[in-house]
């Protein structure tokens, strides 16, 4: 008798393991699956195995490609790189138990509906590499369980909504190659669990908010290829876990010595900004001794600087003044060095013989990898 009971129990356990999605999903979730399939040209997906919408809701299980069904609910939809062509239907709000939604690397267009904010159990939202447009709905701030958010490589505009600061569990935030515009909202400083912040090539303007210094778990911050101005806040120098700072291709300037205190920093990229030798001189001892001197600290190319052209006593006066105690200057005409012209001012006789293109190159021993160069001044 005991042996028979054990056999029955074994069969029941085995059946439970083999068919974990025994419970039927709701009609609302089934309707959402139907809408998703139709709205994204499901018949043309690369893989639509077992998506048979002629069958009832009871037929839906984890064998349907890209789905994970548990306890009668769809908890994961992963259809990345699957030739989804169309739009994200409003009915996705019916997935009340959804934990992961990955529709990245497809051809989805249109807007992201505000109903996305109703997916309260969502932990992963990846919609990157599509053609989505419009604004990022502020309702996205309702996703209090979200840990990963990636909306990169889309056409979203109208800035980053301040409500993004409500995502208290967020660890990874990717907003890259999006024409968002606007500024970085200070509310990002409320994301205390954030480890990775990528805001790359988003047409962002304004200053880097000092509130980012509140992100003590942050390990990587990439704000490159924007139009950010001003200084790098001193508060960023207090984020002890930081390993990567990528602020290249902006309009930043000012002192960076506070960043030299970051003991875990692997690299700091600030090239193609507006830093001067005065900014770098304050960090000169660290520049020369840093463990990431040649590989991890790249300041080597800054944007060109302005020089002036005036007239005095019948001569043309070219003048450039760059802050820095150890600066050396050298003037060039038509890309050839002009012997002896090593001062901030260069006087030229106003005659046809001196026609050409003039620039000045400035060096400083405190930052040996950097050569600042003026914009061309053409004299006819």
**3-class SS of residue 24:** coil
What is the distance between the alpha carbons of residues 298 and 295, in angstroms, rounded to a whole number?
A: 7
Say if 127 falls within a structural domain. yes
More confident position, 79 or 353: 79
Say if 19 falls within a structural domain. no
252 has a pLDDT exceeding 60: yes
Same domain, 50 and 111: yes
Number of domains in the chain: 2
Same domain, 350 and 215: no
291 has a pLDDT exceeding 60: no
Across 201-253, the runs of DSSP E, i.e. the strands, are 205-207, 220-222, 227-230, 244-246, 251-252
Q: Is 162 exposed, middle or buried (0-12, 13-18, 19+ CB in 10 A)?
A: middle
Q: How confident is the model at residue 353 (pLDDT cuts 50, 70, 90)?
A: confident
Same domain, 205 and 318: no
Contacts of 94 (CB under 8 A, 6+ apart): 26, 28, 29, 31, 32
Same domain, 227 and 358: no
List, in sequence order, the alpha helices (H) in the chain.
2-18, 27-39, 277-281, 284-289
Q: pLDDT, tens digit, for every residue of 59-106? A: 999 999 999 999 999 999 999 999 999 999 999 999 999 999 999 999
Say if 189 falls within a structural domain. yes
Same domain, 206 and 355: no
Q: What percent of the residues of the chain are helix, what percent strand, and what percent coil, each to the nearest 5?
A: 25, 25, 50
Q: What b/e sequence results for 42-62 when a residue is b if at least 16 CB atoms lie within 10 Å of its CB, and e otherwise? A: beebeebeebeeeeebeebbb
- Point out the least confidently predicted range of 189-193, 274-278, 309-313: 309-313
| Residue of 91, 82, 127 whose CA lies nearest to 109 | 127
Task: Note the residue count of the chain.
Answer: 380
How many contiguous H segments (helices) and E segments (strands) does the chain have?
4, 26
20 has a pLDDT exceeding 50: no
What is the distance between the alpha carbons of residues 301 and 289, in angstroms, rounded to a whole number?
A: 20
Q: How confident is the model at residue 282 (pLDDT cuts 50, 70, 90)?
A: confident
19 has a pLDDT exceeding 50: no
Across 183-195, average pLDDT: 98
Q: How far is CA 103 from CA 77, 210, 222, in A?
A: 8, 34, 24
Token look-up 């074994």 returns 10
Q: pLDDT, tens digit, for every residue of 33-45? A: 999 999 999 999 9
Q: pLDDT, tens digit, for every residue of 300-333? A: 899 999 989 898 888 899 999 888 889 999 999 9
Q: What is the mean pLDDT of the chain?
A: 91
The residues pairing with 46 across neighbouring beta strands, listed in sequence order, are none
Contacts of 74 (CB under 8 A, 6+ apart): 25, 29, 32, 33, 60, 67, 68, 95, 97, 98
Same domain, 335 and 254: no
Same domain, 145 and 38: yes
Say if 183 falls within a structural domain. yes
Say if 319 falls within a structural domain. yes
> Where is 153: in which H helix or E strand?
none
Same domain, 348 and 253: no
Same domain, 280 and 317: no
Same domain, 171 and 239: yes
Out of 243, 268, 298, a domain closes at 298
Give the residue numbers spanning the domain of 143.
24-298
Same domain, 294 and 319: no
Say if 2 falls within a structural domain. no
Say if 91 falls within a structural domain. yes
What is the distance between the alpha carbons of residues 93 and 117, in angstroms, rounded to a whole number?
A: 8
Same domain, 152 and 221: yes
**3-class SS of residue 3:** helix
Q: What does the DSSP assignment read for 299-335?
A: ------B--EEEEETTEEEEE-----TTEEEEEEETT
Say if 371 falls within a structural domain. yes
Out of 277, 298, 319, a domain closes at 298
pLDDT at 283: 78
Provide the 10 A C-beta neighbour count for residue 28: 13
What is the distance between the alpha carbons of residues 182 and 162, in angstroms, rounded to a whole number?
A: 11
pLDDT at 2: 52
Q: Domain with 214 in it: what CATH number?
A: 3.80.10.10
Token look-up 């050396």 returns 328
Q: Contact, 79 vs 101, CB < 8 A?
A: no
Q: How confident is the model at residue 355 (pLDDT cuts 50, 70, 90)?
A: confident
Q: Domain with 366 in it: what CATH number?
A: 2.60.40.10
- Point out the least confidently predicted range of 100-104, 116-120, 225-229, 323-327: 323-327
């Amino acid at each position: 008798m005991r042996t028979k009971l054990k056999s029955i129990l074994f069969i029941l356990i085995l059946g439970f393991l083999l068919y974990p999605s025994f419970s039927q999903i709701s009609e609302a979730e089934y309707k959402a699956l139907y809408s998703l399939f139709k709205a994204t040209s499901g018949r043309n997906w690369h893989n639509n195995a077992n998506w048979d919408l002629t069958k009832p809701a009871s037929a839906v299980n984890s064998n349907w490609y890209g789905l994970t069904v548990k306890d009668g609910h769809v908890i994961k939809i992963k259809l990345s790189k699957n030739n989804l062509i169309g739009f994200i239907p409003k009915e996705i709000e019916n997935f009340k138990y959804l934990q992961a939604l990955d529709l990245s690397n497809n051809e989805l267009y249109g807007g992201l509906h505000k109903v996305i904010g109703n997916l309260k159990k969502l932990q992963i939202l990846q919609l990157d590499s599509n053609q989505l447009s419009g604004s990022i709905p502020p309702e996205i701030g309702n996703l209090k369980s979200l840990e990963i958010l990636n909306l990169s490589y889309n056409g979203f505009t109208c800035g980053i909504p301040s409500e993004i600061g409500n995502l208290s569990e967020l660890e990874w935030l990717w907003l890259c190659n999006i024409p968002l515009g606007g500024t970085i909202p200070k509310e990002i400083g409320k994301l205390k669990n954030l480890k990775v912040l990528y805001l790359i090539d988003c047409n962002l303007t304004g200053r880097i908010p000092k509130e980012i210094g509140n992100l003590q778990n942050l390990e990587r911050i990439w704000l490159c290829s924007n139009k950010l101005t001003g200084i790098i806040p001193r508060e960023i120098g207090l984020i002890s876990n930081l390993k990567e700072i990528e602020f290249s291709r902006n309009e930043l300037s000012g002192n960076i010595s506070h960043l030299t205190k970051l003991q875990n920093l692997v690299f700091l990229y600030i090239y193609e900004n507006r830093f001067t030798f005065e900014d770098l001189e304050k960090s000169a001892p660290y520049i020369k001794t840093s463990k990431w001197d040649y590989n991890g600290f790249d300041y080597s190319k800054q944007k060109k600087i302005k020089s002036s052209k005036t007239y005095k006593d019948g001569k043309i006066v070219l003048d450039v003044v760059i802050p820095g105690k150890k600066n050396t200057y050298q003037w060039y005409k038509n890309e050839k060095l002009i012997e002896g012209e090593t001062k901030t001012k260069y006087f030229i006789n106003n005659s046809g013989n001196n026609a050409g293109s003039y620039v000045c190159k400035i060096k400083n021993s405190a930052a040996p990898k950097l050569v600042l160069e003026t914009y061309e001044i053409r004299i006819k």
